[in-house]
């Protein structure tokens, strides 16, 4: 089991500007969050062909509850959170998720 913070970004006013800012400014901030064991990002597309509910989703994975708590109360997480209004013009939804693998090797 691991824990993660999931960040769902709404469609930005200017997708190209969002992408550049996210890549060049926000990702480096997020990479500094203590206890981070994985950080993934991807743009969304709909299986039905219509517009998906989110433009993109980021997942920040932590090994356990202690690491997540440390991250959530860190200066680095505060800096990353404070940066979100600088580029997320389409809004943002954030939540934590406990994750368990259901596939065994």
pLDDT digits (tens, 9 = 90+) for 2-32: 899 999 999 999 999 999 999 999 999 999 9
Q: What is the pLDDT of residues 75-97, one digit of tens each?
A: 999 999 999 999 999 999 999 99
Domain that holds residue 56: 2-99
pLDDT for res 31: 96
Report the CATH number that the domain containing residue 88 is assigned in CATH.
3.30.70.100
Specify the number of domains making up the chain. 1
User: Is residue 65 assigned to a domain?
Assistant: yes
Query: Does residue 89 contact residue 30 with C-beta atoms inside 8 Å?
Result: no
Whole-structure pTM value: 0.91
Classify residue 10: in a domain, yes or no: yes
How are strands ordered across the β-sheet holding 36-43? Answer: 36-43, 56-62, 2-9, 92-99
Q: How confident is the model at residue 49 (pLDDT cuts 50, 70, 90)?
A: confident
Q: What is the pLDDT of residue 1?
A: 78
Q: How far apart are CA 2 and CA 10, in angstroms?
A: 26
Is 104 within a domain? no
Residue 65 pLDDT exceeds 80: yes
């Amino acid at each position: 089991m691991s824990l993660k913070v999931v960040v769902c970004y709404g469609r930005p006013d200017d997708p190209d500007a969002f992408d550049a800012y996210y890549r060049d400014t926000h990702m480096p901030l997020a990479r500094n969050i203590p206890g981070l064991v994985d950080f993934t990002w991807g743009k969304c597309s709909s299986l039905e062909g219509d517009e998906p509910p989110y433009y993109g989703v980021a997942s920040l994975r932590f090994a356990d509850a202690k690491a997540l708590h440390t991250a959530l109360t860190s200066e680095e997480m505060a800096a990353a959170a404070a940066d979100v209004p600088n580029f997320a013009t389409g809004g943002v939804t954030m939540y934590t998720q406990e994750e368990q693998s259901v596939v065994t090797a």
